[in-house]
Structure 1
Amino acid sequence: MAFQDGGSIGYGSDDSLQDLADRSSPILKQSKIFDNRGIHLEKIQFYGFDMDYTLCEYISPEFDILAFNLAKEFLVSSFSYPQEILKLEYNPEFPCRGLWFDKEHGNLLKVDQFGRILMCCHGFRLLEGEELRKLYPHKIQRKEEKRIYIMNTLFNIAETHLLASIVHYMDNREDAMVTTEGWLLGSEKKLKTFKQMFEDVRGSIDYLHDEKLLKQKTVENLEKYIKKDERLIGVLTRIRESGRKTFLLTNSDWWYTNHIMTFLLQNNSNEKESWLDYFDLTIVDACKPTFFNKGTNFKMVDTCTGEKVDLNSKPVHERPVVYSGGDHHTVSNLLGADGPDVMYCGDHLHADVVKCRKLSEWRTLLIVPELEYEMSVGLEQGELMNQLQNLERICGQVEPEDQDGFRRRIKDGVKKMDRSFAKTGSIFRAGTRLSYFGSNVLAWADLYTGSVCNLYSYSLQHRFIGTQILLPHELQ
């Protein structure tokens, strides 16, 4: 069922909510939850939530610009990059999530699930044709761990742009000679490889997170960097009032988690004494995806000092217990869950969804904050998508000597569609072909949506049917 925006429906029993279903308005497309596989919410008794980019949605591009600028400053101060680096500016129209960085050639790649290259950028320059084939025979790059780094999360957006910016800057330096490995710099012609540059940028990003610099800057100006959604309290309240349980499972530490969740869930009109009261179980320092495999040491957190203490330690206060680490078996046992009755909501495709589905029985709801924008652009480009599909169908039916013209038209159409999303295109596809990210969403996420607060629009009795997939011979 759907709730009207700004409506005043209270949080009654599931039966009373279901009675209202026939009188409610259709769910707006941007508030929909999309189903790859069937899930009956009536059977879900435990709802787990990640924090960063799930319960806590960062405001873009402000948050991305903050990370971009902090990383630039660290490159200059700690890795001796030239001061000109500080002049690099963040352009929110360039990056998309899910690109691969090739450390050997310094390129950003968008590939499909088999490693076929859909788009390649060297800095801000698009590589095509023979130039592309020279670097990647057959236009294929496999997922080699030593060579490829996948920009899985929204935290990687600033990093994606910074890598492209530095490659572009270095390529255009007057004292730099571009080589197949990187650049020969200065009069001494000292080699700086693409791999070394990547490791410098990666080290800068890690520093921002490990030393909490990015988090500290965020906490200093929460209103600027974090979006508040009034539906969030409603989502958590309705789940718990139905008799189901909620838990918070985040990789963030207690200090940062407490600041963020206090900002999101506590206000002057709030009846709860603490944001912890919205959850039956709270786990920080989860170390996903390791959490879904061997896990880490399971401890309690002293919420006054932030220190981790043994489980048999006597609490020094009466606040709800907060845990650190552990694994999915431990959490399931603490909740009294069987496995398939748990649904975990998170934004990290690899750590929150793929590993969760591979290594546990929990069901998954993937949060894709870019989804509303992607849908709006997709709607505008719907006719172009139909044209591309028709062109590809016709191209496959004509004689080989007649295909060149169709292929050029398809190529031009794909470029036009990609540019309507971002300079690097859509996160889900290039033209009619699914990206690596899009393929994994389809393969692993049971459900996906643009905001975890979209749960507010659905009854806890709702049945998601799942996408009916037919093989080509079944379509005849």
Structure 2
Amino acid sequence: MQYLIGKHWRDIFDVVIVQARKPKFFTDKNRPFRIYDLNHQNHVWDKVRKLEKGQVYTEGTVRQLQDMTGWKGGSVLYFGDHPYTDLADASLMHGWRTGAIIKELTSEIQTLNTSQFKWHVNWLQVLQQLIEQYQESEGEHSRKLIREWIAERDQLRKDTKHVFNEQFGSLFRTYHNPTYFSRRLFRFADVYTSNVTNFLRFSPKHTFYARRGALPHEYRSWFV
């Protein structure tokens, strides 16, 4: 931290905790906080009754943190880079708002924004609608055309998957469906981004709203 920010890095944090040893920090009940003496490079074994700015604390539990600071429930936005070890307990057991840091998002978004990928995805949707609409058409010419559409659709499905990674495709989607990782991410994270510094573009008062997605049995928006 001193290398990244400078020797006064502790001044920008209200509380500094090291060696929290997640997930024990969220599950254990009897691990007290200890002050870490930076000058002597050892622990101070006096009982910690409050968390003070400028001090460095080791271990402890989330229960003690909440009791000493009053940071509870939806008033906390907690960031981590692993849906299970970082976010699951904080979200499910303590009601914290959670943010996931997913570095792979950078390359995924770059791919999503290419003209070729956008064209493939949109044409794939058009092909599927054509197949659904005309699949029962009679006549050899019609059946041949539908077979060609299906073959083209199958190839586009492979292309839009393998463009992310030739072995397993996108981290977030497999063909039309979210991956298992995506479903777990959406379960445990309220927001996700590639880097926490992306939030510097927004005011602390900014509210993020979840995007409504249409279920298969629902109608789509009249305006989109």
Q: If the length of structure 1 is used for normalisation, what is the TM-score? A: 0.39
Tell me, what secondary structure is at the counterpart of 1:413?
helix
2:99 to 330, 341, 365: 365
> C-alpha displacement at 1:433, in angstroms?
1.9
1:348 to 70, 82, 92: 82
> C-alpha displacement at 1:279, in angstroms?
0.7
Provide the rounded CA distance (Å) in 2 between the counterparts of 1:362 and 1:319: 22
CA displacement, residues 329-359 of structure 1 (integer Å, 9 cap, x when unaligned): 2112222223210111222122222332111
* Counterpart code for 1:303: L
* Counterpart code for 2:9: W
**Is 2:14–2:53's contact at 8 Å kept on the other side of the alignment?**
no
Provide the rounded CA distance (Å) in 2 between the counterparts of 1:437 and 1:390: 28
> Aligned pair count?
204
Is residue 2:160 matched to residue 1:420? Answer: no
> C-alpha displacement at 1:457, in angstroms?
0.7
**Is 2:127–2:153's contact at 8 Å kept on the other side of the alignment?**
yes
**Is 2:29–2:63's contact at 8 Å kept on the other side of the alignment?**
no
Counterpart in the other structure of 1:430? 174
Is residue 2:219 matched to residue 1:475? Answer: yes
> C-alpha displacement at 1:364, in angstroms?
1.1
Percent identity of equivalent pairs: 30
Is residue 2:121 matched to residue 1:385? Answer: yes
Q: If the length of structure 2 is used for normalisation, what is the TM-score? A: 0.77
Counterpart in the other structure of 1:332? 66
Tell me, what secondary structure is at the counterpart of 1:473?
coil
Is residue 2:55 matched to residue 1:312? Answer: no
1:441 to 180, 185, 191: 185
* Counterpart code for 1:438: S
User: Superposition RMSD on alpha carbons, in Å?
Assistant: 2.8
Provide the rounded CA distance (Å) in 1 between the counterparts of 2:66 and 2:91: 15
**Is 2:76–2:96's contact at 8 Å kept on the other side of the alignment?**
yes
Listed as ranges, the gaps of 5+ residues in structure 1 are 1-260, 267-272
**Is 1:293–1:359's contact at 8 Å kept on the other side of the alignment?**
no
Provide the rounded CA distance (Å) in 2 between the counterparts of 1:408 and 1:467: 33
Provide the rounded CA distance (Å) in 2 between the counterparts of 1:295 and 1:405: 63
Within a 5 Å distance, the mapping from 1:1-400 to structure 2 comes to 261-266=1-6, 274-294=8-28, 297-300=31-34, 301-312=36-47, 320-380=54-114, 381-395=117-131, 398=135
CA distance change for structure 1 residues 349 and 307 in 2, over 3 Å: closer, same or farther? same
* Counterpart code for 2:37: D
**Is 2:11–2:53's contact at 8 Å kept on the other side of the alignment?**
no
> C-alpha displacement at 1:428, in angstroms?
0.9
* Counterpart code for 1:446: D
Provide the rounded CA distance (Å) in 2 between the counterparts of 1:430 and 1:339: 34
Counterpart in the other structure of 2:139? none
> C-alpha displacement at 1:405, in angstroms?
5.6
Listed as ranges, the gaps of 5+ residues in structure 2 are 137-142
CA distance change for structure 1 residues 432 and 473 in 2, over 3 Å: closer, same or farther? closer
> C-alpha displacement at 1:408, in angstroms?
4.2
Greater RCO between the two (CA within 8 Å, min separation 6)? 1
**Is 2:172–2:179's contact at 8 Å kept on the other side of the alignment?**
yes
